[in-house]
Structure 1
C-alpha cells in the first residue's frame, strides 16, 4: 500500500536560511510528522499536490480511481477528507497523475489516466472536459500555462509533447516530436511562458521557444503609426515579424533517463534536470535569447 503524509520542515531550514546546520544527523531526525492522509478506503496513492495559491490548508490526492480533496485543520495537524470524485468507465481505471490549475480561483484540476486527460471542477466534483486518447500511449506529465488560463501541456510514452486549449479539445494546438523515447516531464517557465522544458528517457533535456502560443507572441500588435513607419523604412519591417517556434537547445549532460525537469522559483533563467542515475544538472537559458525576450 502506497500512502501519503504531511511533514514540517525544520525551523532552521525555513525562512530562507541557507546555512547548513552543524549536526545534519540530528537535523534529519527533527522532521515533524503532522498528519497522514488516510486513503485506506480508497486504495494506493498515486499523486499528492498542494493548492497552488491557497493558504497551505488544502491538498489534492489521487488514489486508484478516486480524486480526493483534503482540508488540513488545527494548525495542519489533522487532515479531513472534504470531497471526493470517482473515475468511472469500463475496466479498472486508475489515476496516474494530477495537476492543480492556478487559474479559475483554483477550482479546477487536471488528471491523467492511461492515455486520457480529464478536467474537474472541485466545487461540484464533476468532470468538465475529457481528452480521450490525448497521447498514443501513457500520459506521463501535465503542466498548466501560468499566464493563459485555458492552455495545458502534456507529454507521454508516444515521445510527444502536446499543447491543448481546454475550450477546444478535439485536437492539440501544437505538437512537438523532438524526443526519441518516453517524455517524462514538461514544465512551463513561471515568468515567460514561451519557454518550455521537457525531459525524456532518451537522456536529453530540450528547451523550446513556443512563442506562437505564448501570452506575448512578439509582433502581434501593430498600430497604424507602426505600419506607416514601416512603409518609410522597409528595413524595420523584419523587427515586427513574430518569432517562430523553435528548439533553443538540446542538453545531453545526462547519461541515463531524465525523469524530472524544473524551473527555479527565484531565477526565471535557471533550470534543473534530474536523471535516474542521480545526476542533477543546472543550466541557464542562453543569454542571447534572454535579452531577446526582455528587449
Structure 2
C-alpha cells in the first residue's frame, strides 16, 4: 500500500504567505502570496487535481507590495485579504486590503495567461492609527461580516460591506503590558458562538472577548521564547495548540493555564506554524525553520478518544482474547510522518478545506509542497 508521491510547485519569487481557499469545499485549492522587493508580486491560485496528482494554477498580480500574510473568506470563495509591505521613498509600512479573484478558477484558466490579470481591490482595511498590520482573520462560520486584524499591539475589528466596497472599523483593543510588545499571531475560537479570539505577543497567549474587547485569560510564559502561532481545536472546546521559537509545540486547556497538557519537542529550530486537522483533530501539523513538516497523532487530547473507537458489539466475530489485546494496546501519541521536501524555512502549513487528508506547506524559497496523510493512518482513523 504505497502512498502517493508529494507534488512540488515552484514559485518564481520567495514566499511565506499561504492559506487554504476556505470558502471552496469541493475542490482542493490554496492561495499563495509572494515576497519580491524588485518585481511585482503575485498571488498564485493553486488547484490540486488529486486524481492525476498534478497542480493547476492561475496567477494574479498584486501590485501593492510583498505579502506577509494571506487569508481567504470562509463563506465567499472569491474573497481574500492580504497584509503587505507598502514601500515608498520615505518609509515602509504594513497595510491590509480586501480583494476579489477575477473569476472562477476554470473560467480564468481558459483565458490567455500570458498577460497576468490583477486582483480586484474591494477595499483597504485602514488601521493607520494603530501601526503596521500583521494579519487578518475571517469569521469562522461566515455568519457575520466582521473581520479581525492585528496591528502592532492592537486588535482591530471591521465590518465589511463587499457590495459597497467598504470596511468600517467597529472596535479595537490594545495591549496594556510593559514595553508594548507587538502581537505576533491570532486565532478565532470556533466555539462559544465565535465571540472569542486568542492572540500571542512575546511569550504570552491571551484570550479576548470580542463583545467587550476585554481579556478573558492569559497564559504567561507559554513558551520560552517568542510565540509564533496558535490554533483552536475545531471539535473540542477550550483546547488550543501553540508553537514558538523555543522549538516546541504545546497543547493547552484555557480553563487551567498553569501547565500545558502536552509538549512536543520534535523540531530542532523555530516552529512557525501549527494546525489542527478540521475533521480529525488528533492530526496536528507543524512546520519549522528546520525545513521540516511534521504530522503528529495526538489521540490522547482529541475529540475521538480511543475508547470510543473500540467496537464492543456482542455480535463481534472477534473472540475475547482479540478484544483484550486490542484494548491493551490503544493508539499512542507520536509522530506519524516527517516530510522533508523543503530546503528552506517552512513558514506556513495549512489543511485543505475540501479534503481532510490533504495539506500544503510553503518554504521561503518559493517551494509549495502538497502532501497527504499516509494511507495506513487514514485507514486506522476511518476503520
Do these two structures clear the TM 0.5 threshold for a shared fold by scoring above it? Answer: yes
**3-state SS of paired residue (1:3):** strand
- Structure 1: how far apart are the matches of 2:187 and 2:371? 25
**3-state SS of paired residue (2:130):** coil
Cα pair 2:184 2:229 within 8 Å, conserved: no
- Structure 1: how far apart are the matches of 2:312 and 2:287? 43
How much has 1:242 moved relative to structure 2?
A: 2.8
2:348 to 260, 268, 271: 260
Aligned counterpart, 1:83 = 171
- Structure 2: how far apart are the matches of 1:10 and 1:222? 49
1:24 aligns with 2:113: yes
1:143 aligns with 2:235: no
* TM-score normalised by structure 1 residue count: 0.92
Paired residues in the alignment total 289
How much has 1:106 moved relative to structure 2?
A: 1.0
* TM-score normalised by structure 2 residue count: 0.71
Aligned counterpart, 1:37 = 125
- Structure 2: how far apart are the matches of 1:236 and 1:223? 9
Question: Which consecutive aligned stretches of 4+ in structure 1 deviate over 6 angstroms post-superposition?
Answer: 221-226
- Structure 2: how far apart are the matches of 1:185 and 1:153? 10
Aligned counterpart, 2:372 = 284
Cα pair 1:21 1:27 within 8 Å, conserved: no
How much has 1:220 moved relative to structure 2?
A: 4.9
Deviation track 1:8-45 (CA, whole Å, cap 9, x = no partner) reads: 111233xxx4761322365523x221111111111111
- Structure 2: how far apart are the matches of 1:97 and 1:289? 30
Aligned counterpart, 2:102 = 10
How much has 1:234 moved relative to structure 2?
A: 2.2
Cα pair 2:122 2:162 within 8 Å, conserved: no
1:248 aligns with 2:336: yes
Aligned counterpart, 1:235 = 322
Looking at secondary structure, tell me which structure has more strand per residue: 2
Cα pair 1:39 1:63 within 8 Å, conserved: yes
Matches within 5 A, 1:95-106: 95-106=183-194
Alpha-carbon distance change, 209 to 90 in structure 1, aligned in 2, over 3 angstroms:
same
**3-state SS of paired residue (2:129):** coil
Cα pair 1:57 1:76 within 8 Å, conserved: no
**Unpaired segments of 5 or more residues in structure 2?**
1-92
Deviates more, 1:153-162 or 1:55-64: 55-64
Q: CA RMSD in A?
A: 2.2
